[in-house]
Amino acid sequence: MSRKLKRRQRKPLRQTRSASARGTLRLGLVLLGLVVVNLYVFLWRGGTSIPDVMEQAAVAGNKEGAGLTAGEPDEPEEGERGEPPRPADESEGTPDEVGRWVEGEVAPGDSLAKILRREGLTPGEADEVIRVFDKHAEVKTIREGQTYRIRFDDAGRLMELDFQVSKVSAVRAVRGADDKLTSEAAAADTRIDEVQIGGTIDSSLYNAIKGSGEATQLVAFFVDVFAYDINFYIDTHAGDTYRMVVEKEFLNGQFLRYGRVLAAEYRGRAGTFRAFWYKSPREKEGRYFDEKGQSVEKTFLKTPLKYSRVSSGFNPRRMHPVLHVRRGHFGVDYAAPTGTPIWAAAGGTVVFRGRKGGAGNCVIIKHDNGYATTYMHMSKFRKGQAVGRRVRQKDVIGYVGMTGLATGPHLHFSVRKSGRYVDPLRIKMSRGEGLAKSDRADFTAHTGSLVARLAAIPVAPGTVASGGAGGSPSVPAPAAGAPTRN
């Protein structure tokens, strides 16, 4: 019985060996077929055999040297095959610009040292750049958005750095043949035209200037220069007119910025006021004078900031808006956005600077003519000033806020004369120093043509002022900066 079983068990083993042999034979036949096919394609088949391919390559090389014959299709350029074009090799170019360029932009919180470290400069290279840039004040305070380019040689060493300060100016550091970095400032070529601008006020000076196509930053000029004579909140009326001759700077034909206002006029119910920029040959800086040579500057500013509106006037019997009790209001409240700069109304000495109860952050300035001015509710003080420090007229001393007892951001401005409060809007101000007698003749010659140009500027609604000395029209300028409201 056991022998029969053993014979039955050996029979499947012989069948398995036979099937394995047949599989090996089939695999060998398949491999042999593939070898035959490859030999045919690469040795005997026309067009794909190795000899034919080599012959075609030689013909193509000859064509490349002699140029393609007429009727043959051009090979598609890079970028036409659905692939992005290959960037040019940065090492290609003139021999003195071998290496690679790195470009970047100043980010929030950046400093020059931080940028140099981020771009991979060694501490020694960074120190070199900082030292050669030290004489360029425009690079000491960098701003977000400014751009720069850095060139390294093939060994990764700094060779050149271009820092774009503005649209028209840059500072460049270059490593010379003596292996030292040197720096220079460069300025783009711009064109300055003198243009005439004028118009009639319908609702406000801001809207009138904006409607003429000019940038509303020109409003700030009128507020700054005529602030001694005009309160642009209560003295502006429909039908008032303005005229001005101003410099416009262009870069590559595009308006860049305003230069100096050479002459300006405001005419209305409050009177006619003119200002002319004039620099005496004996002075370092120019100033504004009226046509008689008197300074347009006064002993006190009529308004110590650019404000939106007068929210409360001088009233000894006013009801307090927070305490709801009758308490005199011995000053003027000027409503303005938080952060608006506040000017010193006149030159003097800071006698108080700090927190003062309901006045919040407060500054008090004592002036030389028996006056004292108080500025309340500031959001913060200007850095670098302290009690005992002298300030000049129109120096920024702080910024509008609503500290202390205040229902909104505003400046409370009060004036005392010999210890008694007076209405700031009713102070009679004296003029600043006028022209020296020796400058009168030169000033008259300087302003003669400007007076005539002002008079010729059209101000009727819908008219456009003519161009400047070169005959170019007044180019509309895009709005720039935050609007200054009346």
pLDDT band at 236 (very low <50, low <70, confident <90, very high): confident
CATH topology (fold) of 191-297+439-456: Nuclear Transport Factor 2; Chain: A, (3.10.450)
pLDDT band at 433 (very low <50, low <70, confident <90, very high): confident
Is 309-426 in the same CATH topology as 97-187? no
The whole-number pLDDT of residue 306 equals 74
Q: Tell me the pLDDT tens digit for each residue of 7-41.
A: 545 555 455 555 566 667 777 776 777 766 666 65
Max mean pLDDT among 10-19, 58-67, 74-83 falls in 10-19
Q: Which residues contact 228 (CB under 8 A, 6 or more apart)?
A: 296, 297, 298, 300, 301, 302, 429
The structure tokens listed for 290 are 């009226």
pLDDT band at 235 (very low <50, low <70, confident <90, very high): confident
Q: What share of the chain is helix, strand, coil (3-state, %, to 5)?
A: 25, 30, 45
> How many Cα atoms sit within 13 Å of 168 on the Cβ side?
11
CA–CA gap between residue 154 and residue 99 (Å, rounded): 5
**Residue 465 in this model has a pLDDT that exceeds 70:** no
Q: Average pLDDT of 99-121?
A: 91
The whole-number pLDDT of residue 213 equals 87
- Our CA angle for 198, 199, 202, nearest 5°, is 160
Q: Average pLDDT of 114-127?
A: 92
Q: Where are the domains of the chain?
A: 97-187, 191-297+439-456, 309-426
The whole-number pLDDT of residue 481 equals 33
The whole-number pLDDT of residue 385 equals 93
Q: Average pLDDT of 241-265?
A: 92
**Residue 474 in this model has a pLDDT that exceeds 50:** no
| 3-state SS, residue 431 | strand
The structure tokens listed for 108 are 């929030």
Q: What is the percent of the chain where pLDDT is above 90?
A: 38
CA nearest 185: which of 126, 137, 235, 236?
137
CA–CA gap between residue 416 and residue 372 (Å, rounded): 5
Task: Tell which CATH architecture fits domain 97-187.
Answer: Roll (3.10)
Q: Average pLDDT of 224-234?
A: 77
The whole-number pLDDT of residue 77 equals 41
The whole-number pLDDT of residue 261 equals 94
CATH topology (fold) of 309-426: Glucose Permease (Domain IIA) (2.70.70)
222 within 8 A of 268, measured Cβ to Cβ: no
Q: Lowest-pLDDT range, 32-41, 396-405, 432-441?
A: 32-41
Q: Tell me the pLDDT tens digit for each residue of 290-339.
A: 999 988 877 777 778 877 677 777 676 655 555 555 567 788 898 889 99
